[in-house]
Structure 1
Amino acid sequence: MRFFAPVIALWALPLLALFVVLPQAADIEEQAVRDPLPATVVVGERERNYIQEAVLVFDLAPSAPVAVQVDGLVTSLHVASGDEITQGRDLVSLDGVKLRAHLGAQPFYRELGEGAKGSDVAELSAYLAATGHANTLGRDNAFSASMTKAVKAYQKSVGAAETGIFTPGLTIYVPPGVAQVRQVGATVGARLAAGDALLTGPDRPTSLAVEKSGEAPLRVLGLPGPFIAHLRATQLPLTSLTPEAPEVDALYTALVKGGATVTASEEGAPRATVSGVRISVAEPRTVGTVPAGAVFASPSGTLCVFVLDTESAGAGGKAEGSDAVVLAEAGPLEGELAVTAVDADLVGAAIVRDPSRLSADEHAACA
């Protein structure tokens, strides 16, 4: 044994150094260069726009019908389902006369010729110009000789008698929001009477509901507007999450034109769901930021941070005393890991970094 004991000891020493001494030395070395976490931290500041993917749900209603204003035999149809309706587009020919689309605030309602004055004369002047018949409006919105010439040119282009007097039946009024043909209600050879529907447009949105996408709660709920709807690189303004009908219609039209994914309801009330949209506040808000571990959750679910006076921290950042502050706002900060957004009025305050080390009495103050 006296001979073998030294040999065994010499053989075991390298193993002891490898499995025991070296790991302990590495831990000691790591502790020597590691900065200890402070007991307190100062609440930071960020600009937050709460951007988040959302689902927009539009309630729909049938659009107003597009009707003719004169009697006649349908001799030709110039539109079909799915066609776009633009100012001055040929829609139908009655008794060989082409009737063109008039997109405006209101339809023409009377004959207009030299001597007539009014807002409808100004509307006619703009309509003639938009359809390629330049003219000059008279003083005080008067029907001018220039307009007479333009009306004759317009009448010639549609196959009507060149009288120089404009009649409402030469156009078909298209109500606002009807920009596309859903269904044509007339056939060649049929007779139409004044007031009969020529075509209908798509259902139009009447109201909007903004809903969450996925399981995450919608962060913009409860926040004051205005907001922005983001569709790829396009930003669409939104005054509130429950806007009035004209704004709803404008938003829906912009989303459809922008290529948004629209899903129609299969049953129940007509409804369209638009996905692939993100919602944010238009003006970013300032929020405080703290490490996620600095937020304490009480058994009742109340969230708090423990705020200290700047003079209450002892040497080395040790907290000597703190007050629990209930958070009105607390949630993950998008784009940053382990960071929680808190009330803006806490920015600059010193708080306890790890409230789990506080006493039960201090925890009880978070209620």
Structure 2
Amino acid sequence: MRSRTERPPPPAPRTRLFRALAFTAPLVALWLVPVLALAVVVPLATSREASSVESELPVTATVGSREDDYRQTVTATFQVTAPHDVVVPAAGLVTAVHASPGQVLAPTDAVVSVDGAVLRAHVAEAPLYREIGPGTSGADVEGLRDYLAAAGSETTLGRGASYSPSLRRAITAYQRANGFPADGVFQPSSVVFVPAGSPSVQSVLTSVGEMVALGDPVIAGPVLPLSLTLSAESTLRLAGKDGPFALLLSDEEVPVTSLAPAPEEVHALHAALVSAAERGTVDLTTDDTTQSFTGLVLHLPDAPVRGTVPTTAVYTTAAGTRCVFSTDETRSTGVVTSADAIPLTDATTVDGEIGLASVPADLVGQTVVRNPRSLPGSVLDDCA
């Protein structure tokens, strides 16, 4: 009879656990070693890298300087009238054209000749609207006297600004010189009225040999600017500041006395910008009521000098008083124990430069404490 082979008893649970750990422990260790290395090495490398580029800031700083001309790209927008046409005061054949595009008409400048008679510009606020002869008086008679004086004839008026013998002689001389019947009686049809605000000739609308009727336009005048607005994509930096200012048009500088200029300056600025647009220096967009010029730079022609300090050097009390602390100690390390509080009435950040504050120019070159909170409380109390 064959004997049965006896099987060994199964291992105890603890023995099985030890055998499993003996097999998996090396695998876990192989996985953990790189992870632990990264956890230790990366922070250490980061710390060493930071320490290699960082340096301890000095305890004090010297007040620097900046010239801030508040330079900023702006758009000039003019409210404008419709173009004003100059019309002929008489019908007939155009025998000469005297005005030319771009010309600024002065009083008594020749404009056109009709049937051989020269029609000259009467540049004024109001036209000479009636016949002026014996028995007439008034403001328009005085206006005619001034016009004839500009043409070279000195006259005197009678009592109450009335027609006088010397005015008759002056009218007669003017009529003979320009091809009109010389009867000494002024006719409004012998001059071309040109409004004083638009004496520039934009274009000539007639030519020699053309028949014209009373009231036909012979000159296209420019649009008239009524007001000016200067604007920027962001807040206008010079808003609220006193002038004078200046506009840079490429390499040309145009003075601007105020951000809300008077009418005569609006006209001058408009003329300068129109000329710049014709040269291609600035860009012009226009519609029925506005003309906008872009490519302009507004700035202060005489830039004020300002001091500059780190923003940390400006100390602000609970009451809102701001100070910097001037010291005779120039330190790179250590603690400043003695400093003088200098109140600031005007301390702002420097545009375009992070971490700098603007302070009065008389502080330029002085040494100030970079971090006033490191000063003793008794020194800080002086900022009041």
State the TM-score, normalizing by the size of structure 2: 0.60
Residue 168 (structure 2) pairs with residue 148 (structure 1)? yes
1:289–1:339 CA contact under 8 A, matched in 2: no
Q: For 1:121, which of 128, 141, 153 is the aligned residue? A: 141
Residue 257 (structure 2) pairs with residue 238 (structure 1)? yes
Larger radius of gyration between Structure 1 and Structure 2:
2
1:105-145 alpha-carbon deviations (Å, 9 max, x no partner) = 211111122443322222222211222x3212225533332
Residue 369 (structure 2) pairs with residue 353 (structure 1)? yes
Structure 1 residues 217, 81: closer, same or farther in 2, change over 3 A?
Answer: same
Residue 180 (structure 2) pairs with residue 160 (structure 1)? yes
1:182, distance to aligned residue in structure 2 (A): 1.9
Residue 77 (structure 2) aligns with: 58
CA distance in 2, matches of 1:322, 1:274: 47
Residue 192 (structure 1) aligns with: 213
CA distance in 2, matches of 1:256, 1:184: 18
What letter matches 1:318 in structure 2? T
Matches within 5 A, 1:1-367: 39=60, 50=69, 52=71, 54-59=73-78, 60-131=80-151, 133-138=152-157, 140-187=160-207, 188-193=209-214, 195-212=215-232, 218-223=236-241, 225-229=242-246, 236-239=255-258, 241-243=259-261, 245-253=263-271, 261-265=281-285, 270-273=290-293, 275=295, 278-280=298-300, 289-292=307-310, 306-307=323-324, 318=337, 329-331=348-350, 340-342=357-359, 353-355=369-371, 358=374
Structure 1 residues 274, 162: closer, same or farther in 2, change over 3 A?
Answer: farther
1:147-183 alpha-carbon deviations (Å, 9 max, x no partner) = 2222112111221100111111111111133232223
Residue 7 (structure 1) aligns with: none
Structure 1 vs Structure 2: percent identity of aligned residues?
28
CA distance in 1, matches of 2:292, 2:111: 28
CA distance in 2, matches of 1:115, 1:260: 56
2:348–2:359 CA contact under 8 A, matched in 1: yes
1:86, distance to aligned residue in structure 2 (A): 2.4
Q: Which runs of 5+ in 2 are unaligned?
A: 1-57, 328-333, 376-384
CA distance in 1, matches of 2:162, 2:150: 18
1:163-217 alpha-carbon deviations (Å, 9 max, x no partner) = 1111111111111332322233334322312x332221122323323245xx997
CA distance in 2, matches of 1:49, 1:153: 62
Q: Which runs of 5+ in 1 are unaligned?
A: 1-36, 360-367
SS in 2 for 1:156: helix
Structure 1 residues 191, 260: closer, same or farther in 2, change over 3 A?
Answer: closer
2:349–2:356 CA contact under 8 A, matched in 1: no
CA distance in 2, matches of 1:93, 1:100: 9
1:108–1:168 CA contact under 8 A, matched in 2: yes
1:99–1:172 CA contact under 8 A, matched in 2: yes
CA distance in 1, matches of 2:153, 2:82: 36
CA distance in 2, matches of 1:308, 1:297: 8
Structure 1 residues 218, 353: closer, same or farther in 2, change over 3 A?
Answer: farther
SS in 2 for 1:265: strand
1:229-268 alpha-carbon deviations (Å, 9 max, x no partner) = 36679764533x2345554223323566799944322779
What letter matches 2:266 in structure 1? V
State the TM-score, normalizing by the size of structure 1: 0.62
Aligned-residue Cα RMSD (Å) equals 4.9
1:40-65 alpha-carbon deviations (Å, 9 max, x no partner) = 87x8999x894636545133443322
1:58-90 alpha-carbon deviations (Å, 9 max, x no partner) = 334433221223333434332343343222122
Structure 1 residues 118, 295: closer, same or farther in 2, change over 3 A?
Answer: farther
What letter matches 1:137 in structure 2? T
What letter matches 2:370 in structure 1? D
SS in 2 for 1:141: coil
Structure 1 residues 83, 324: closer, same or farther in 2, change over 3 A?
Answer: closer
What letter matches 2:371 in structure 1? P
